[in-house]
Copies of this chain bind each other. A is one copy, B any other.
Amino acid sequence: MLKLYDLAGRNPELRFSPFCWRTKMALRHKGLAFESVPWRFTDKAAIAPSGQGRVPVLVDNGRWLHDSWRIALYLDDHYPDLPRLFRSAGERAAARFIADWCDLALLPVLRPLILLACYDAVADQDRRYFRESREKMLGRSLEAVCAERTEAEQALARVLTPMENTLGAVAHLGGDSPNYADYILFGSLQWAHVISPKPVLDQASAVSRWFERMLGLFDGYAREAPTLRETMLVTAERNLQAR
């Protein structure tokens, strides 16, 4: 059984790392069973054998692996007879671009929409680390990053325009069925789906329709993941009933 260290919030069921989602979908695609271990940003000791301090970290029979991209390459390499994440070298190279585009174009425009909600969702012991590391990386306070919501929504629509065109024309980035490129994009958007107080995708868009199909994969695996919005609704309902 493989073991995956997966970023969790104060609520251990809340799993929101875009990079961990890429790996979880990849493991499901390969049909590999895995134990998912909730991990917090400050649990550096737990993943020290990986030689670094970030998740996803996958442990396969005593071998410690990190970095979602390298884990995907490893899975196809070491389990070549299970369904391929990349069916050709060209699919792998193009998926590298889709990863770079997600990391350097898409995630930056999602951040202003959800970073403060992330800060609210992280475990108490992680709050100081989260604020300090993000503010150092971005060079501004979390509040400053999230201040311009309308501009961020416009920037998101602009950045997604090419992908909207593509997913209007093809069923998946992998062609007729998903490959790892789909899981890269899915993980990025699932981050916002799990955390954002309101939907970030236009429900009528081709990207949103593709995202719904992705939520349905593997018997609705990703759809079953709790979201912050649901958690808040449940809490609100409980409070209401308690009155």
Binding site for B on A (CB under 8 A): 86-98, 100-101, 103-105, 161-163, 165-166, 169-176, 179, 181
Contact = CB atoms under 8 A, between A and B. Distances in A.
B97 A174 contact: no
A216 to B, nearest CB: 19
B105 A162 contact: yes
Contact of A181 (B90, B100, B105, B175): B90
As for how many copies of this chain the complex holds, the number is 2
A24 to B, nearest CB: 20
Nearest to A176: B89
A160 B93 CA distance: 16
Nearest to A159: B105
Contact of A90 (B100, B165, B169, B175): B175
A178 to B, nearest CB: 9
A172 B94 CA distance: 9
A139 to B, nearest CB: 16
B179 A90 contact: yes
Given A90-B173, A93-B172, A97-B163, 20 more contacts: A87-B88, A88-B88, A89-B174, A89-B176, A90-B90, A90-B91, A90-B175, A90-B179, A91-B94, A92-B170, A92-B175, A93-B170, A93-B175, A94-B94, A94-B97, A94-B98, A96-B166, A100-B162, A101-B162, A105-B162
Given A90-B87, A90-B88, A93-B172, A104 B162 contact: yes
18 contacts: A86-B90, A87-B90, A89-B174, A89-B175, A90-B90, A90-B91, A90-B174, A90-B179, A91-B91, A92-B170, A93-B175, A94-B97, A97-B166, A100-B165, A100-B166, A101-B162, A104-B161, A104-B162
